[in-house]
Chain A
């Protein structure tokens, strides 16, 4: 299959999917949480989970060593709903919208455009910063990334896979002009991004008065993961901690959508 046909098939799958209700046995696939998953992947998996919870859709998390390879876009997470396999937050949002379930119904077009802009800001800044810390920063790479990423492969495949993934990420960061940044530059970028988010949030419970959206889910996924993941460098978490409004948002979403489960 050529790449050009994929969007068409995506569209068809979304259209077809619309005709069926949300299946009962939806599964969300992600890597092992305890020993394998890395910061950026964990953030994206959590964001997708938060979104599904906000939509009050049931799902079951399945941990797979090869979740990344199984994903149609080679990125985690992905969900399996009936015969459909849909990857990443944007795809999942589109698929859910296709079923008539949406969090953005009350937003006008300007707000929707705003939301998309902030989402791409998070992808372009926070996610790249996470990738940079994990794969470019020597200390984090040696102490955390290479051990966790290689943990599911036998020797010597673990080294080969680490090396291969690292060169992929570095290639990507080079293309985005992030590879030559210093750690300070990276933290400065994150700070600017948080500043913008914090200003936009401005003490409201969610980004839009109408209620939580996928933007809140994405921010929750990334910031919660940054705050709770122990890394040799805590600078990234410290940068985020300077923004109490964002912390409050993260805590609110956690309490609202993730704590309920543990109570029951």
Chain B
């Protein structure tokens, strides 16, 4: 058997997938391709080399690669090498990592022995740059500076400032410390200042605060984030013509909230998944100190099924529920409420276009909402051949149907029982449908141009029939 180079691909995310695709080509003497059963080849790892370590401490690297010694056959070696590579990557200390697997030589080598070499390249002490980012239907210029791997165990400090096209500014200083152990946990503490403007609700918001975050995996796919946020929020009206309901909320408030985010992401791709699902559940309790108090639950569910080669049907459900604390006297502001409508949520409606609004037309937010979407994604028609990775691969056409509803005040429905709540949420349903083109932006965001037909809506809603443009990370 000749030398096998199993160089891990940059983009592999799913391990089973990786296993399926691995076949060994016997090169170059014989042109014929021979399938080899990788599980049948006995192998053991004699030696692991990690080249290119300078500042990084040995112990954290050892933690990442230790599993590799337990491999018994060649497929196992490949899988574990890949997993080790992912772990090394997650440390955030290395710019690039390549893996070479070779038969082991030398006096101490065993008959089935292999030698695995990780070539890593560490980040510089200080990196920085100017980039653009998208999110929440807004493009932003991002200036950032990072000091990665500060003390040799993956600690990093990052400073970011972003300025958005909708006058959103954001300043953030964070210190991140990965913690060794099988839960792949990390502790983040950050200080932030955020300025945002919301013309549909006629207010602007300045938030200054502290966020402590502890993220860990309870099983390999189940990710938890436990967060505490202390946030001083200064709300003020955007103009003199703002409605009095919004004006009444202006002023400074202090929010202190505990949050738990649970997420499972089984999708094969973030932007245009063809299989797998995403589940995200956020629970937040505000009111441990401060003068803002509520209990907020929100979940997002997305599921994808591949009908044919590239034709994917995607269903998503997004809902949230906000209740005041029973003790009662704490505030719930416009910044805490739910809003529905816009190109990222209920298409065919203006941003924050659904739900309760003041006499002057300012969206006031709701205490409860649900929305659902069904998409049929297909590649661009008239593609030449089936060339993967071409320009056409960045695009998808889609047909969609969106539906949803909001409830201004839970008290009305809450008193008359849960079944009535569901009934109330199903009556006065908002529905829109349409078609459009979606574009992948990098590997993190999606751009959509849709033609929407609002089908059913409330008379107070602001619909946006026709062309709608959306850019963001999480879409309904």
Hey, which bits of chain A sit against chain B, CB under 8 A?
1, 6, 9, 13, 64-66, 68-70, 72, 80, 85, 153-157, 160-161
Cβ B291 vs Cβ A70 within 8 A = no
Closest A residue to B246 using CB positions: A70
Cβ A157 vs Cβ B254 within 8 A = yes
Cβ B232 vs Cβ A66 within 8 A = no
Distance to closest chain B CB from A8 (angstroms): 11
6 closest A-B pairs by beta carbon, nearest first, are A66-B251, A69-B251, A157-B254, A69-B250, A154-B291, A1-B239
Known contacts A80-B244, A85-B247; 9 further A-B pairs (Cβ under 8 A): A9-B240, A66-B248, A68-B251, A70-B247, A85-B244, A154-B254, A157-B290, A157-B291, A161-B252
A80: B residues at CB distance < 8 A: 244
Distance to closest chain A CB from B215 (angstroms): 27
One of A1, A70, A155, A157 near B240 (C-beta < 8 A):
A1
B238: A residues at CB distance < 8 A: 1
Closest A residue to B243 using CB positions: A83
Interface of A is mostly: mixed
B247: A residues at CB distance < 8 A: 70, 85
Cβ A70 vs Cβ B250 within 8 A = yes
Hey, which bits of chain B sit against chain A, CB under 8 A?
232, 236, 238-241, 244, 247-248, 250-254, 289-291
Cβ A154 vs Cβ B289 within 8 A = yes
Give the docked Cα–Cα distance between A1 and B232 (Å). Answer: 24
Cβ A160 vs Cβ B232 within 8 A = yes
B239: A residues at CB distance < 8 A: 1
The winner among A13, A153, A160 for most chain B CB atoms within 10 A is A153
B252: A residues at CB distance < 8 A: 66, 69, 153, 157, 161
Distance to closest chain B CB from A161 (angstroms): 6
One of B232, B248, B253, B290 near A70 (C-beta < 8 A):
B248
Give the docked Cα–Cα distance between A141 and B415 (Å). Answer: 48
Closest A residue to B254 using CB positions: A157
B240: A residues at CB distance < 8 A: 1, 6, 9, 13, 72, 85
The winner among B236, B239, B241, B251 for most chain A CB atoms within 10 A is B251
Cβ A154 vs Cβ B290 within 8 A = yes
Cβ B250 vs Cβ A155 within 8 A = no
Cβ B250 vs Cβ A153 within 8 A = no
Distance to closest chain A CB from B293 (angstroms): 10
A64: B residues at CB distance < 8 A: 248
B254: A residues at CB distance < 8 A: 153-154, 156-157
A9: B residues at CB distance < 8 A: 240-241
A154: B residues at CB distance < 8 A: 254, 289-291
Give the docked Cα–Cα distance between A69 and B253 (Å). Answer: 11
Give the docked Cα–Cα distance between A157 and B209 (Å). Answer: 12
Cβ B289 vs Cβ A155 within 8 A = yes
Give the docked Cα–Cα distance between A1 and B240 (Å). Answer: 9
Give the docked Cα–Cα distance between A65 and B291 (Å). Answer: 12
B289: A residues at CB distance < 8 A: 154-155
A156: B residues at CB distance < 8 A: 254
Distance to closest chain B CB from A68 (angstroms): 8
B241: A residues at CB distance < 8 A: 9
Closest A residue to B232 using CB positions: A157
Distance to closest chain B CB from A42 (angstroms): 19
A6: B residues at CB distance < 8 A: 240
Give the docked Cα–Cα distance between A160 and B231 (Å). Answer: 13
Cβ A65 vs Cβ B251 within 8 A = yes
A72: B residues at CB distance < 8 A: 240
Give the docked Cα–Cα distance between A155 and B289 (Å). Answer: 8
B290: A residues at CB distance < 8 A: 154, 157
Cβ B250 vs Cβ A66 within 8 A = yes
A153: B residues at CB distance < 8 A: 252, 254, 291
Interface CB pairs A-B, < 8 A, 24: A1-B240, A9-B240, A9-B241, A13-B240, A66-B248, A66-B251, A66-B252, A68-B251, A69-B236, A69-B250, A69-B251, A69-B252, A70-B250, A80-B244, A85-B240, A85-B244, A85-B247, A153-B254, A153-B291, A154-B254, A154-B290, A156-B254, A157-B253, A157-B290
The winner among B232, B241, B244, B254 for most chain A CB atoms within 10 A is B254
Distance to closest chain B CB from A172 (angstroms): 19
